[in-house]
Amino acid sequence: MDIWQINLDSGDDLTALRDLLDPNEKARADRFLSESVARRFVVSHSAVRRILSTYVGQCAQELVFEYNGHGKPALAGGGSPSFSLSHSGELALCAVAQSGELGVDIEQWREVRVAELAKRFFSATESRHLLGLPDHELKAGFFSCWSRKEAYIKAKGLGLSLPLDQFSVELRPGMPAALLDCAYAPDDVGRFRYWNVPVPPGFAAAVAYNGPDEGAPNFRSWVFSSRA
C-alpha cells in the first residue's frame, strides 16, 4: 500500500491540471463558490489521476471512474487498484492498494465543541475514552477519532448511511489505532487494519484497510510535473 501526500497549493498550471479531469469532475469544481476551494479540488483530483496512471499504465486523462450509490469512486469495470482520496486545508492524501476495502481520511484541526460533538456523533465507548483525556489532549483525541471513523466509513463506501455511533475506534494516546466494535458488521473488527498517517502538526490522518496483506504502508509525497 502507498499513501501519497499532496500539497494542494502546488501545481501552478491550473488549466493543464483541469484538462486532466472528466466533465463530471469539471462540473463539480465549477459548483464551488470559493475560488481557492475550487482550485484545491482541481489539484487533488488531477493528482489522483496522475498517481493512478502510474499504477495502471494509462494516461491520466483517459481514466474512467464509476461511483457507488454513496459516491465512492472506483476505476471503471471493477479494475484494480483500490484507492481513496481525502483532503482538508492545504493537504490531501491518496491511498492506493492492490485490492480490498480501503479508506483514508485527513482532518485539519479547528475549534470545535469537543464534548458536545462527541456525545452527538461518537459511540458511548469513544465518548467515554475521549472525555477521560486531560484537557490539553482533547482536541488531538477528537480529531484522531474523527479521522479513524471517516477512514472506516470511506473503506466501506457507505457514506453517512452507516451511523457514526454504531461503531467504535481506538483514540487513546499510546494505543494502536484499531476498530474496537461495530454493530453494522461485527466481523470487521478482526478484518480491518489501521495505520496512523504521518502529517504535519495541526492535522490528524488515518487509513483503514481490509484486504490482502501488503505490509506496512509506504508514505510518499506527490510532486507535480508537466507530464500528463
* Tens of pLDDT, residues 91-124: 999 999 999 999 999 999 999 999 999 999 999 9
User: Dihedral sign, CA of 135, 203, 109, 170?
Assistant: negative
Task: Kindly state the average pLDDT of the residues 213-225.
Answer: 88
Residue 11 in this model has a pLDDT that exceeds 80: no
Alpha helices in the chain (DSSP H): 14-18, 23-30, 35-56, 114-121, 124-131, 138-156, 188-191
For the record, the C-alpha cell of 156 comes out as 466501506
Residue 227 in this model has a pLDDT that exceeds 60: no
List of domains in the chain: 2-100+215-221 (3.90.470.20), 109-202 (3.90.470)
- Using CA atoms, how far apart are residues 67 and 179, in angstroms rounded to an integer? 26
18-62, pLDDT tens digit by residue? 999 999 999 999 999 899 999 999 999 999 999 999 999 999 999
